[in-house]
Amino acid sequence: MASAGLVVLSPLLVAVGAVVRSTSEGPALFTQPRVGYDGKVFRIIKFRTMYVDGDARLAAHIGNRELNHGRLLKMKSDPRVTPVGRVLRKYSLDEFPQMINVLTGSMSMVGPRPPLPNEASRYGTDLLRRLNVKPGLTGLWQVNGRSDLTWDEAVEFDLHYVDNWSLTLDAKIIWKTFRTIVRGEGAY
């Protein structure tokens, strides 16, 4: 599925990369360490949606941030995100390069989102169950509210997926992902 997706979407991926490069300073792609299956760290690949000086922009704006229960920094008006990045995030276009992660075996098409190493290091026993399956490009919480969910709701969806995995569930999530992307709801 990832191979076919990369081939079919290659013109779009090239166009998105060119737009990212031409509208803000920095590379088109962004990589970041994430924790995957069995606690193994890998580098996730995404289109860059933030300014290269995003941390400085956040520091200047830090007094007005919206925290999702103190765990995930999700801001509707994040000063780090470029105008093109807002569109990419709304329609999940920034996520498409992760199909390369699927091809390399560090991710699956469906599964829990891979946490940052500093997030995973704070996991208790219950949350460590998220690492019992490969992380996914899409998942239950992405099709059930995305960034509008609280941390606890997102974790509940991920753990439900881990405990109830099936090919049928994966097929339902993939089907709902298309609807979620087209609607662009809950992403920022």
Total number of residues shown for the chain: 188
Cα separation, 94 vs 17, whole angstroms: 10
Q: Is position 176 within any domain?
A: yes
β partners of residue 186: none
The verdict on residue 188 lying in a domain is: no
In a domain, 167, yes or no: yes
What's the pLDDT band for 32 if we cut at 50, 70, 90?
very high
| 136, 110 Cβ separation under 8 angstroms | yes
Q: pTM for this one?
A: 0.84
Residue 153 located in a structural domain: yes
- Between 72 and 160, the higher pLDDT residue: 160
Q: Is residue 131 part of a domain?
A: yes
Domain count, the chain: 1
Please determine, for residue 124, whether its predicted confidence score (pLDDT) is greater than 60. yes
Q: Average pLDDT, stretch 140-168?
A: 90
- Residue 2: the pLDDT is 86
pLDDT tens digits along 37-64: 999 999 999 999 999 887 777 766 665 5
Mean pLDDT for all residues in the chain: 87
Q: In a 10 Å sphere around its CB, with 0-12 CB exposed, 13-18 middle and 19+ buried, how is residue 156 labelled?
A: middle
φ, ψ for residue 172, nearest 5 deg: -65, -45
* pLDDT number for residue 75: 65
CB contact set of 141 (below 8 Å; sequence gap of 6+): 113, 149, 153, 154, 157, 158
CA distance 18 to 43: 22
- Contacts with 47 (C-beta within 8 Å, 6 or more apart), sequence order: 16, 17, 20, 28, 29, 30, 88, 93, 94, 96, 97
Q: Percent of the chain scored above 70 by pLDDT?
A: 88
Integer Cα distance of 112 and 141 in angstroms: 8
Cβ 108 vs Cβ 133: under 8 Å: yes
User: Which domain does 39 fall in, by range?
Assistant: 2-183
| Domain contains 115 | yes
